[in-house]
Amino acid sequence: MKFLELTGYGNNHKHLISLRSIADVEFLSQYTHINLNNGNSVNVIEDEQTIISMVNYLSSDIVSQDYMDNIQAQIDAYEEMEADRFAVGEDKLPF
């Protein structure tokens, strides 16, 4: 199971929050608000960049419109070059 160790806003208590238990994350100016699947919520001092880095470190992905636009731009560039994205090396078979 993957956990984030986060610091409570206001009381500085440490919280271990399972990635699987997170329902929603809202990044506010003073703190980050995390809603859990069980209906509880916790406010933490870690900011957006810190939480995203923690999630990425745990081999989880956060997909956004910017991420998808970047992938589409890469696909468009390959197609513009008339390159096969899956081919490596020459087009001829070795036999």
| d(C-alpha 59, C-alpha 45), whole Å | 22
The residue range of the domain holding 59 is 3-80
Flag whether 93 is in a domain: no
Average pLDDT, the chain: 89
Question: Does 23 score more than 90 pLDDT?
Answer: yes
Q: How does pLDDT run across 59-94, given as a tens digit for each residue?
A: 888 888 998 999 999 888 888 776 554 555 666 666
pLDDT at 15: 97
Any domain includes 87: no
User: Average of pLDDT values for 18-22?
Assistant: 96
Asked whether residue 86 is domain-assigned, the answer is no
- Tally of CB atoms within 10 A around 90: 7
Whether the Cβ atoms of residue 50 and residue 32 lie closer than 8 Å to each other: no
Let me know if residue 67 belongs to a domain.
yes
- The pLDDT score that the predictor gives to residue 42 is 97
Asked whether residue 28 is domain-assigned, the answer is yes
Q: How many domains does the chain have?
A: 1
Specify the pTM. 0.71
Does a structural domain hold residue 31? yes
Task: Let me know if residue 76 belongs to a domain.
Answer: yes
Residue 88 lies in a domain: no
- Write down the pLDDT at residue 77: 85
82: left (phi over 0), alpha (psi -120 to 50) or beta: left
